[in-house]
């Protein structure tokens, strides 16, 4: 099975289908983390420029900076993992396939944990800034 081809065919085995779905999922995780990277940059810019004097707790900036590092670490790990998946085509037995599937499950848990923590951080930020500034309507 070639990991670059994620089209699912009738003749694919269950393991092939699993690998293809995992590849598509991994691609979505990477794209999402790249978006979070941009979003964190924007949130930090807002904190450091527009809200610097209005934020009561400066710990939110430190938490965003820490999350930025964590996001970059996870993104780097997923990109490395993506490159290692090219060897899936070499698997000749179920045990080999299960190593990749187990590893994928581990990355899934890490990604979902990271996402949950990031969402909580954003919620905390918006709770703190709610009412501290108003957005102008664009007519």
pLDDT digits (tens, 9 = 90+) for 39-57: 999 999 888 876 666 555 5
Place of tokens 């957005």: 135
d(CA 72, CA 25): 18
Looking at 42-51, 66-75, 89-98, which range is the least confident one? 42-51
Angle at 2 between CA 114 and CA 96, to 5 degrees: 70
Is 72's pLDDT higher than 80? yes
Is 3's pLDDT higher than 50? no
Task: Please report, for the chain, the start and end positions of each structural domain, with discontinuous segments joined by +.
Answer: 26-129
Percent above pLDDT 90 for the chain: 54
d(CA 62, CA 13): 48
107 close to 78: Cβ distance less than 8 angstroms: yes
pTM passes above 0.75: yes
d(CA 92, CA 39): 42
Residue 91's contacts (CB-CB under 8 Å, 6 or more residues apart) are 97, 100
């Amino acid at each position: 099975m070639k990991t670059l081809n994620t089209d699912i065919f009738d003749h694919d085995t269950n393991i092939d289908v699993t690998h293809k779905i995992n590849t598509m999922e991994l691609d979505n995780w990477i794209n999402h983390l790249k978006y979070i990277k941009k979003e964190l940059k924007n949130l930090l810019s807002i904190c450091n420029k527009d809200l610097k004097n209005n934020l009561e707790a400066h710990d939110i900036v430190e938490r965003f900076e820490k999350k930025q590092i964590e996001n970059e670490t996870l993104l780097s790990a997923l990109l490395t993992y993506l490159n290692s998946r090219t060897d899936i085509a070499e698997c000749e037995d179920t045990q080999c396939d299960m190593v990749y599937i187990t590893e994928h499950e581990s990355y899934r848990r890490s990604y979902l944990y990271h996402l949950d923590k990031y969402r909580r951080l954003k919620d905390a930020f918006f709770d703190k800034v709610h009412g501290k500034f108003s957005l102008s309507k664009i007519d």
